[in-house]
Structures are given as structure tokens and as C-alpha cells.
Structure 1
């Protein structure tokens, strides 16, 4: 069958959908509708036949860009309608905008989560009441198609050329352990303080000879469209000039994927970068403020999940994060020795 999978949300949501895509692709053709923001995570994915995309209007600032986005959305709409699908699958809970795309697909069956969904959704998966990781929740959508497989790992495909470019930027001739610190988060309650990252970097460097890659969301904090952490990264880099810390500025998701692929272990708060780290198979120490670790935690990679008791990562001390990092590092090294 031809399946159109609709995933309109953020980068992390799409990455966490890749195990479902892989499961469906074992029996069916899978095409995916995404937006231009999250689309790069599907580059090179062998389980996706066609990728349709559109631009969210609030991501464009100029009138010319907005007109171009509308024109491309019309083309995407026509392409989906012309193709026609056996099944449209809304990844996650149903919503009106995703449902509009499902209708355009002319699918005979529409699958989504939500028993309160309108009748056009033919297969309604009940809302999940038990504690469950999002990956496990999403694969429930494959059950109406007879797929009972267990979900595998997250799947991101970084090319050798991309990794080589990233390696050239940091000069990887040095064989010291390479640790990643990712400082950005979209949610304020998930932002660990700059001074904590500075202290953590110094403690890791004092413990053993190592190199540290600093990752962050590019851009100024006062950018109304895409606020970034250039200022925070500059403070950390200046305060860590006495250790081997490499500010790794990225301009797109693919560069972040390639940079993280070089690391031996990563610290990051919950968000898209966390799932990129897990998607390239890296051990992760994940910091959670006002989101649930059981639902959004690292999927099928060695990890430590630290959850703040007051819903803000500020309450996680450097002692806690450092201790979890070293504990995880020792576990990974032990597993490598035992094979």
C-alpha cells in the first residue's frame, strides 16, 4: 500500500517518528509530509520514498518569501492529491491542520490517535493513558495495518562527507576523548545556567585530558523569529579559554548532526538536539525541567536522565550532572571492554 505519513511538528518529533517509518516501510511504500524546518532529518533515510514539504508562514519574514511559501504549498497540495494514497497516517494526536492534509491525500483509511476524532478518521487509536515513551506511543499507529513489530532505534543518516567536513573544522588528529555540551533549549525551564556549563567543562578537563565541543542554537537571543544563544556561547568560550573547548557554530541541522556524530558522549537538555544525539547513536546525559523523561528521554542509547524536582533544570547541580556523566562514561567504556 501507499502510505502518507503526516508529521508537521518540530525536529525532535520527526526524529522520534523514524522507528515508525522504518516499521511501515517493511511492508508498504512510505511517503512523508513535513515542513522545511524539520525536513533535513530525513535526508538519506532509505525507508522514505518521497518527501513532501511546505513552509510554515510564520517562518518567513518578507512578503516575497511568504508568497513563495504559498506557491510551494499549493504545488505540494496538488502533488499529494494527484498521487492519491491508500492510507494517511497522522503521527501523533489528530488536529485540524493535519486532518486537512489527510483529506487531500484521498486516502481510503486515515489513522490517528484520539477517540474523539471526527468520522473522517477511520482508525482511531485511543489516547494513551499509561506512561509510555513517545516512540512506543507512535508505533501504536501501525497496529491497524497489521504491524506488530517492536520499534528499533532512531534513524539519522549522516554522510561520510558531512562527517569529514565536521572533523576538518575541529582537527580530529588528536585522539583524546571528545565530549559535547549542548546549551540551548526552546523552553526556558530547560535552560541550564551558563555558569554551570562553565564549571562542568572545567571539571571534565581536570579529570582527564579531553576535548569539549560546544553546541548551541545559532543566532542572537533578541531574534524574534529564531532566537539563539550566540551570546551565551561567547561567554562560555571566553570563560573556558584555559581548556581545550571548541565552539562549534552550526548553520543548519545537518552540521549539528555531523558534529555530534564525532562526540564520544553528550550533555544536553530535552529538545531536538537531545534526539539528534540519540539519533547518531551517542551516549547522552539528558536534563529535564518541565517535561517528562519517561516520555521524551533518549531512545535506545546508553543514557542518564536527570529530572528537576521543581520543574526547572536550574535545580540540577553540577555535582549531579558531572556524577551522571562519569558514571555513564564508565559504563560505556566497560561495555566496550567486555565486547
Structure 2
């Protein structure tokens, strides 16, 4: 396939970013969008996002306007979005999602230049005027981090991104105050956040491992903050009931009212231990050193970005399997990561101190 040559972007003044979800994917795109703004302060940047993720972008100083679409948009919704987008008269739209809906929204914008990755997942490439071979963005063999691949888009606009560092997103926690935060900040330091839940069973660390890690941390004088949404509260309860220690612990699972409040909780902690989840990326975004437990997914592509964070991944021959495990549900890759390994990683992070932006 012969790809059309990318035209000059020097005259682009109105840019639309299309990255509708999920939390981690949106956070991955922020460094690239910031790099575009630094390189081209003359460009006005807007963003299309699904409603469930919109709060992550609200208040971002780089973004002029958000176009919020329903989580499951109807044809009427899409026609309404089309009117709003075309009224802005965008010069260029970037499909940073690479899926069918994002491609459609990119096309609906009416932008004469529509750029995205030439993977044609769900037919998204048919909506683009200029699909880019992923190898040119650093992602040919699947061993480049998503942040680095997205940085490749910023280079199209003349940016020279500082790879390897995730710029702290201070706006995420500006002005956040709540009883939950008061409870967390009343704990003695160091505070270790434990995110025990995950969206896939194959991303979960065994409950007994969390119990052993939490008890040992408390014995060593650390405070524990359990984080997660309402779906995670049950497994947090299973961990707590098996623990020897009852304090110092604050359980905020299911108590944080927004993604921004969760971000503020994580910022108030000295280390985060987590699986491959949205809160992992949120912790990185607010500058909390992160210990990430990986097995079924590719830590090279979606692990916590930046050298300061620690990934524990045993790299079994069957890993990453994603949603096609070959271990009959034993989750060998996660069981191979012992509580002792996680404890050592927490110790290393605490010894280095809280990251300074």
C-alpha cells in the first residue's frame, strides 16, 4: 500500500485530538499533546473524549475546549457532535486512538488533514487522509511504549520531546478537597497505596499476596491506603479481614467520588503498588513512584512510563497472553511475583524519596 505523503503542518492553527478513552490511554497521550503545544504555541488544541473519562481532561491548561460524547453514542449524538466539530473549522485532526469510533469522529470533524496510525483496526484507517506507518512512530515491533509512539505524532509538528520522563499533571489535583483526603493525610508517613483490583482476572495478584505485603509493610512502620472503585471494595475487604494488623490503614475503595479525587489520594501517598490498571497510570501522572505488577499484558507497551517507576514482570514464556491464557486460570505469571519482590521494590522507591517534578 502506498501511503499519501504528509503535507506541511506549518499552517495548522486549529488542531483536534481524538482519544476518547480509556483513562490510561488518555493519560498516555498527554505528554505528546503538551509537546505539540510547546513546539507550536500558535496552535489551538481541542479534544474529543467520552463522558466517563472527561474529568481527566477538565482543567488541562493545554486544551482549549472539550467535545464530550456519550459513552455509547447514538446516531443522533454523532450528528450533534458533527455539527459542533465542523463549526470549529479544524485544520487538522489526530486520531490517537486508532479504533472505529475514533476514526469516524476524526472524519466527522471535517478537518482536511486527518492523521492516525495505519493499523486499520475496526476500519479506522478508511477515515484518515494520512495514515502513518507505526514504524515511523517507533512502534513497529510492539516493544515501544505507547507514550513514545504517541510522541511520534508530536514530532510531526516539530516537537523534540524529552522521552523517558512523564511530565507531572498538576492540574489533576488542583483544588481537590474532601473528607477522604483528610483521612489519608492524617496517616503517618510513609504512606503506601495498594490498588488490589483489576478489570481482568488475569491482571490480579492473589489476595494472600496482598495480605502478606500489607502486614509486612505495617510491621515495618508504613501506613496503608487501599484504593479502588466500588467494584474493588469486595476484594479489599477480603484482604483486610485476613490481615493481622488493623491500623494504620485507610480504605478509600469505593469512597472516592471522582477520578480527580483518586488522583489527589495517590498524590498524597509515597508509593503505589498496583496491577495494570487505570490508577497505575494516574499514579504516574501525579508523580507518585509506582511499583507495577505485570504478567498477562505487555509492560514494555503499557507499563508505568519513566525510569523512576519499577515493573515486576517474570516474563514467562506464555506472557503476555492478554485474554487468551494457557495456564487453565492459574495466572502463573502473577503468582510468580512474590510479596517479597514487591516489598523490596517498595523499599527501593522509599529509599529514593518522592519524585520531584
Bin of the TM-score, shorter chain as denominator length: 0.7 to 0.9
Q: 2: distance between equivalents of 1:217 and 1:119?
A: 36
Equivalent-residue separation in structure 2 for 1:303 and 1:87 (angstroms): 35
From 191, 210, 219, give the equivalent of 1:206: 219
Does residue 137 in structure 1 map to residue 149 in structure 2? yes
Query: What is the CA deviation profile of residues 35-80 of structure 1, one whole-angstrom value per residue up to 9, with x for unaligned ones?
Result: 01221111221000111111222xxxxxxxx8xx765544322111
Asked if 1:108 is matched to 2:121, the reply is: no
- 1:111/1:125 contact within 8 Å kept: no
2:49 is aligned with 1:34: yes
Q: Say whether 1:121 aligns with 2:129.
A: yes
Aligned pair in 2 of structure 1 residues 302, 119: CA closer, same or farther (>3 Å)?
closer
* Aligned residue in 2 for 1:242: 246
Contact preservation (8 Å) 1:154, 1:299: no
Aligned to 1:316: 337
- Paired residue for 2:294? 288
1:75-133 deviation per Cα after TM superposition (whole angstroms, max 9, x unaligned) = 322111211210010114x3332221111111121111117634842252334214211
Deviations 1:260-319 (Å, cap 9, x if unpaired)? 111011100112111000001011110001112221122236221101334431221111
Cα distance 1:173–1:148, how it changes in 2: closer, same or farther (>3 A)?
Answer: closer
- Kept in 1: contact 2:116–2:128 (CA 8 A): no
The 1-side partners of 2:241 and 2:174 are apart by 32
Distance verdict in 2 for CA 1:163–1:232, change over 3 Å: same
- SS of the equivalent of 2:304 reads coil
Aligned residue for 1:215?
227
Separation in 2, partners of 1:17, 1:33: 13
Give distance in 2, aligned partners of 1:275 and 1:103: 29
Judge conservation of contact 1:153–1:279 (CA < 8 Å) in 2.
Answer: yes
For residue 179 of structure 1, the aligned residue among 188, 192, 216 is 192
Cα 1:268–1:119 change in 2 (3 A) is closer
- Distance 1:101-1:175 versus aligned 2 partners, 3 A rule: same
* Paired position in structure 1 for 2:273: 267
Matched, 1:10 2:25: no
Aligned: 1:80 with 2:85 = yes
TM-score by length of 1: 0.84
Question: How far apart, CA to CA, are the structure 2 residues paired with 1:284 and 1:265?
Answer: 6
- SS of the aligned residue for 1:43 comes to coil
Q: Deviations over 1:223-268 (max 9, x none)?
A: xxxxx12211112233345331111132321221111111011100
Which residue of structure 1 lines up, in the alignment, with residue 326 of structure 2? none
**Partner residue in 1 for 2:202:** 189
Q: Which runs of 5+ in 2 are unaligned?
A: 1-12, 320-332
| Aligned with 1:230 (options 230, 233, 240) | 233
Q: Are the structure 2 counterparts of residues 115 and 326 from structure 1 closer, same or farther at C-alpha, using a change threshold of 3 Å?
A: closer
Q: Distance in 2 between matches of 1:44 and 1:166?
A: 22
Residues 129-188 of structure 1: per-residue CA shift (max 9 Å, x gap):
142111110111223333333355245323443156543233x34543111001111122
Partner Cα distance (1:192, 1:245) in 2: 20
Contact in 2 for aligned 1:309/1:315 (Cα 8 Å): no
> What is the RMSD computed on CA atoms of the aligned residues?
2.4
**Residue 353 of structure 2: SS of its match in structure 1?**
helix
Matched residue SS, 1:103: helix
Aligned equivalents of 2:256, 2:307: Cα separation in 1: 24
Rounded Cα–Cα distance in structure 1 between residues aligned with 2:127 and 2:247: 61
Structure 2 CA distance for partners of 1:164 and 1:96, relative to 1, 3 Å: closer
